[in-house]
């Protein structure tokens, strides 16, 4: 029987009520009395010397409050990067200054050059049109392989080249890997592109800066996944504002998908300008601005090779990847193609030798950083495409080849530095085969063919590493941040709880699922637990939400804080019950003396904590409020197996997804409804990457896909109903809830299945093209079919 409350129940989301009635409080809904509006004049040139910014004609225009240029920010810090990668020679990566407003040079289309603060947005925009820019255009650096050639134009004149770093992992293994290749019975090679994407949360970014001269307090309202991180990065590194004078509020946030992790110039600008103008300053991104200023995702070009022995066992894997950083290093950009990608190259397989090389490259494009999955989709895509290609080259069943090479014993230490604690790849594949009705495929293909269509079946596995940790290890790997999470649980006198978490919810439903956990632990109604997040003024220092970490890391902090609450409440209860503490247990919202009918209700204990008349004051303090910080001892390793069936119209090249099955192992599940919804959303983004989405630049660095007219967002009619299962559960062994994280799986696991299915369909018509790049557009398919 499904549970109707607590852990394991599909509790309906409480946040839905305000979202369904128009009462959400998104950042753009916030207006501060007397606020002015800012419009950013952005570069329409990819690369150029900024000779002058003449604001004289704009300065006196109606409504203009103040105009800022790069010169105003010379004394201000660089927008910081939060991860320093060390290259294969032991040298630190090249790290350029990232100005709030461009100064000296412009380096990508969309880079802010000047900012006009005016009474209204329209006035700011009008005045911006009167600003005269003198820019000497330079050759744009767009193609990564050209960018690192000798003599290439440099994006940053003060760096030695456009190479941010050349990373080898594990460098000491390279010789052994190369030797395994020379002894291989078969080598499969694949060259592919992981297409550049734009995250596109439906809510564009917004930032409102406010400053109270009377107290010197700054407030920033911003569309962020991690307000404490923004407070630290912006306060400490850019503007020099101590945390106690800077409050960052991220209220209802309309989706993030990674792109709202990062600290952006616009946040620093409105905070700076609010003080300079002595009034609140608001910026709301248009969608067009979002395309050229939100950090992009993916954009890897890879050559990958697999060595197999004569029995088709994987012997070694070797990869060579170019990863686009864009023009500047966004907050976590350097970690994505390295520690979030190289460490996942073992996938679900017991390949004993692996070497990963990544060259991160500066180009005159928007900075690239984490997007749903961040490095793990890139790893999964190349590996799962490669295994499929190997199976076809060897004439063996792709599922059989995978099964033969699965890791089956846990814990398993990979040759790429991580140790999988639990998993059961055979079980998820068994489940998938059942869901995908492989036996029925032949009939479905015949039915498609009878309509003049081609039908293909594709499968893939995935493994991901979530809840990135522990802090001391990632510090050694170059992280400039801790990766713990925090929680304060405040119990009120009448028994209700306020749970203040450092995690952030921007669609994940934490207000519901986190409450389920605490209510379950105490045995009270979920409605007695309120979840507070998103405001540095009333939550403990936390790292926010990304990397499928919230329940695994934030939830663990919450469990620890609640355990402290229960421990203290048990002490109080044992005093009230005049029983030994060890005999008192909490169950269903009451403390009972074991083996007796003596009990005291939760609410009586909490009241005693705040009205301590009959209370052991000499032993414990009054009150009931506890804080915990949790630093995980390892990543979590969700895994799964996905299958896709596509139809191709050979006349047009149009691909449609007819069936999609996903068997995931997320460990324990708190709210199955929410977990399923997370997978659905991830699948749509993964299928979108595979079939539709592409962020395209021309050779001059002009962004060709800068609106929903040009960037193909998946629509309802592009997608099927999905068949999703998470009944295979191998709980995480090192966090208290045994949870693994589910937010990114769908986006990580789905692209290879789609492309494998497309290639299978083409093979059914006698076209074995080996590989086709994403997005698998009608044009690409049609051309491949003609070749």
Partner 1 sequence: MTQVKMTVNGKAATGEVEGRTLLVQFLRENLGMTGTHVGCDTSQCGACVVHVNGEAVKSCSMLAVEAQGAEVATIEGQAAPDGTLNTIQQAFQDHHGLQCGFCTPGMVMSAAALLKENPKPTEADVRHYLDGNICRCTGYHNIVKAIMAASGQDVGTIAAE
Residues found near partner 1 in the complex (CB under 8 A): 10, 12-13, 15-24, 26, 28-29, 122, 200-204, 252-255, 257, 286-288, 506-509, 672-674, 676-677, 680-685, 707-709, 713-717, 719, 721-724, 746
Give the DSSP per-residue string, 650-702.
TTTTEEEEEEEEEEEE-BS-S-HHHHHHHHHHHHHHHHHHHHT----B-TT--
Alpha helices, DSSP H only, in 296-375? none
Contacts of residue 150, defined as CB under 8 A and 6 or more positions apart, other chains included, come to: none
Nearer to partner 1, 29 or 621 (CB): 29
Neighbours of 717 (CB within 10 A): 6
Q: Which residue's CB is nearer to partner 1, number 28 or number 535?
A: 28
Strands 112-118 and 186-194: unpaired
Measured from the CB of residue 251, what is the shortest distance to partner 1 in angstroms?
Answer: 12
Q: What is the largest CA-CA distance in the chain?
A: 87
**Please, which residue, 337 or 672, has the CB nearer to partner 1?**
672
Structure tokens that stand for 218 in this block: 């700054």
Minimum distance, C-beta of residue 687 to partner 1, in the bound complex (Å): 8
- Pick from 605, 270, 635: which is nearest to 419 by CA? 635
Shortest distance (Å) from residue 254 CB to partner 1? 3
In the complex, the smallest distance separating the C-beta of residue 409 from partner 1, rounded to whole angstroms, is 32
Cβ distance 94 to 165 under 8 Å?
yes
Are 510 and 526 in contact, with CB atoms under 8 Å apart?
A: no
Residues whose CB is less than 8 angstroms from the CB of residue 442 and which lie 6 or more positions away in sequence, other chains included = none
Q: By C-beta, is 583 or 723 nearer to partner 1? A: 723
d(CA 740, CA 742): 7
Nearer to partner 1, 251 or 337 (CB): 251
Find the shortest distance in angstroms from Cβ 257 to partner 1: 7
Give the nearest distance from C-beta 521 to partner 1 in angstroms.
23
Least Cβ distance, residue 24 to partner 1 (angstroms): 5
Q: How far is the CB of 525 from partner 1 (least distance, A)?
A: 18
CB of 203 to partner 1, least distance (A): 4
- Give the pair of three-digit tokens for residue 558: 């919450």
In whole angstroms, give the CA distance from residue 138 to residue 716: 42
CB of 296 to partner 1, least distance (A): 15
Question: Pick from 223, 392, 396: which is nearest to 764 by CA?
Answer: 392
The CA distance from 254 to 256, in Å, is 7
CB of 202 to partner 1, least distance (A): 4
Q: How far is the CB of 714 from partner 1 (least distance, A)?
A: 8
CA dihedral sign of residues 336, 339, 342, 345 = negative
Cα separation, 350 vs 329, whole angstroms: 34
17/699 with CB nearer partner 1? 17
- Identity of the residue, 109 or 253, whose beta carbon is nearer to partner 1 in the bound complex: 253
> Please, where are the H alpha helices in 419-495?
425-436, 441-450, 471-476
Question: CB 449 → partner 1: shortest distance, Å?
Answer: 22
CA 443 to CA 432: how far, in whole Å? Answer: 19
Residue 205 or 549: which CB sits closer to partner 1?
A: 205
Q: Could you tell me which of 565, 567, 545 has the C-alpha nearest to residue 555? A: 545
Closer to partner 1 at the Cβ: 11 or 414? Answer: 11
Angle between helices 555-577 and 510-522 (to 10 degrees): 30
Which stretches of 330-484 are assigned E, i.e. beta strand?
Answer: 353-362, 412-413, 419-420, 454-463
Task: Give the Cα separation of 672 and 389 in Å (integer).
Answer: 35
DSSP 466: B
CB 367 within 8 A of CB 296: yes
User: What is the rounded CA–CA span in Å between residue 268 and residue 441?
Assistant: 55
Return the number of the residue (40 or 169) whose C-beta is nearest partner 1: 40
Q: How far is the CB of 532 from partner 1 (least distance, A)?
A: 18
Q: 586 has which bridge partners? A: 591
Residues in the chain: 787
Based on CB atoms, which residue is closest to partner 1, 23 or 768? 23
Nearer to partner 1 among residue 163 and residue 281 (C-beta): 281
C-beta closer to partner 1: residue 395 or 721: 721
Task: Select 513 or 735, whichever has its Cβ closest to partner 1.
Answer: 513
CA distance linking residue 570 with residue 637, whole number of Å: 35
Nearer to partner 1, 115 or 687 (CB): 687
Please state the closest distance from residue 54 (CB atom) to partner 1, in A. Answer: 27
CB of 16 to partner 1, least distance (A): 4
Sign of CA dihedral 780, 781, 782, 787: positive
Q: How far apart are the first and last CA of the chain?
A: 55
Q: Which is nearer to partner 1, 11 or 162 (CB)?
A: 11
**HSE-up (13 A, CA, CB side) for residue 297:** 27
CB 170 within 8 A of CB 80: no
């Amino acid at each position: 029987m499904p549970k109707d409350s607590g852990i394991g129940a599909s509790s309906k989301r409480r946040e839905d009520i305000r979202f369904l009635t128009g009462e959400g409080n998104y950042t753009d809904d916030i207006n501060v009395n007397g606020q002015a509006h800012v419009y950013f004049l952005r570069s329409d040139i990819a690369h150029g010397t900024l000779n002058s910014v003449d604001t004289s004609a704009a300065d006196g225009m109606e409504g203009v409050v103040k105009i800022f240029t790069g010169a105003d920010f010379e004394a201000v810090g660089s927008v910081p990067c939060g991860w320093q990668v060390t290259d294969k020679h032991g040298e630190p990566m090249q790290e350029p200054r990232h100005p709030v407003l461009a100064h000296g040079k412009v380096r990508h289309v969309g880079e802010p050059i000047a900012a006009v603060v005016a009474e209204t947005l329209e006035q700011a925009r009008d005045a911006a049109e009167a600003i005269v820019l003198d820019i000497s255009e330079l050759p744009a650096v767009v193609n990564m392989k050209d960018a690192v050639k000798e003599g290439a134009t440099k994006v940053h004149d003060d760096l030695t080249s456009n190479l941010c770093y050349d990373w080898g992992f594990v460098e000491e293994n390279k010789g052994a890997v190369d030797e395994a290749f020379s002894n291989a019975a078969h080598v499969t090679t694949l060259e592919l592109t992981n297409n550049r994407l734009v995250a596109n949360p439906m809510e564009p970014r917004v930032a409102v800066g406010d400053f109270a001269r009377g107290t010197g307090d700054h407030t920033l309202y911003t569309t962020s996944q991690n307000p404490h991180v923004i407070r630290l990065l912006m306060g400490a590194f850019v503007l020099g504002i101590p945390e106690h004078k800077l409050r960052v509020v991220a209220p209802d946030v309309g989706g993030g998908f990674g792109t709202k992790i990062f600290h952006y110039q616009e946040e620093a600008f409105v905070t700076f300008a609010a003080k300079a103008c002595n009034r609140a300053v608001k910026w709301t991104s248009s969608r067009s601005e979002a395309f050229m200023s939100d950090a992009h995702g993916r954009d890897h070009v890879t050559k990958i090779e697999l060595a197999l022995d004569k029995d088709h066992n994987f012997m070694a894997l070797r990869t060579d990847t170019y990863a686009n950083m864009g023009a500047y290093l966004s907050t976590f950009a350097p970690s994505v193609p390295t520690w979030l990608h190289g460490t996942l190259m073992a996938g679900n397989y017991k390949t004993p030798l692996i070497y990963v090389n990544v060259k991160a490259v500066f180009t005159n494009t928007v900075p690239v950083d984490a997007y749903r999955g961040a490095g793990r989709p890139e790893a999964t895509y190349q590996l799962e495409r490669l295994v499929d290609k190997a199976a076809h080259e060897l004439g063996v069943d792709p599922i059989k080849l995978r099964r033969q090479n699965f890791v089956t014993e846990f814990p398993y230490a990979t040759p790429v530095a991580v140790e999988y604690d639990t998993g059961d790849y055979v079980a998820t594949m068994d489940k998938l085969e059942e869901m995908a009705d492989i036996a029925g495929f032949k009939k479905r293909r015949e039915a498609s063919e009878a309509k003049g269509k081609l039908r293909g079946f594709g499968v893939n596995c995935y493994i991901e590493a979530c809840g990135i940790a522990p802090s001391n290890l990632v510090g050694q790997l170059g992280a400039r941040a801790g990766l713990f999470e925090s929680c304060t649980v405040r119990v009120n006198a009448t028994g209700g709880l306020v749970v203040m978490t450092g995690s952030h919810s921007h669609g994940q439903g934490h207000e519901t699922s986190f409450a389920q956990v605490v209510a379950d632990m105490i045995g009270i109604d979920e409605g007695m637990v309120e979840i507070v997040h998103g405001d540095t003024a009333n939550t403990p220092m936390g790292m926010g939400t990304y990397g499928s970490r919230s329940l695994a890391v934030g939830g663990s902090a919450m469990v620890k804080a609640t355990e402290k609450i229960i421990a203290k409440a048990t002490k109080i209860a044992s005093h009230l019950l005049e029983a030994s503490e060890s005999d008192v247990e909490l169950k269903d919202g009451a403390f009972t003396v074991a083996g007796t009918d003596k009990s005291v209700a939760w609410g009586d204990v909490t009241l005693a904590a705040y009205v301590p008349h009959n209370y052991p004051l000499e032993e414990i303090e009054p009150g009931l409020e506890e804080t915990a910080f949790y630093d995980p001892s390892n990543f979590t390793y969700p895994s799964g197996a996905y299958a896709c069936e596509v139809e191709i119209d050979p006349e047009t090249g149009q691909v449609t997804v007819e069936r999609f099955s996903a068997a995931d192992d997320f460990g324990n599940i708190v709210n199955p409804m929410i977990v399923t919804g997370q997978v659905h959303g991830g699948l749509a983004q993964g299928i979108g990457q595979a079939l539709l989405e592409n962020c395209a630049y021309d050779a001059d660095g002009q962004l060709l896909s800068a609106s929903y007219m040009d960037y193909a967002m998946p629509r309802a009619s592009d997608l099927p109903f999905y068949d999703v299962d998470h009944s295979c559960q191998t709980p995480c062994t090192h966090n208290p809830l045994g949870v693994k994280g589910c937010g990114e799986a769908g986006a990580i696991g789905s692209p290879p299945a789609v492309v494998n299915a497309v290639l299978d369909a083409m093979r059914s018509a006698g076209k074995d093209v080996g590989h086709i790049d994403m997005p698998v557009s009608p044009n690409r398919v049609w051309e491949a079919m003609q070749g």
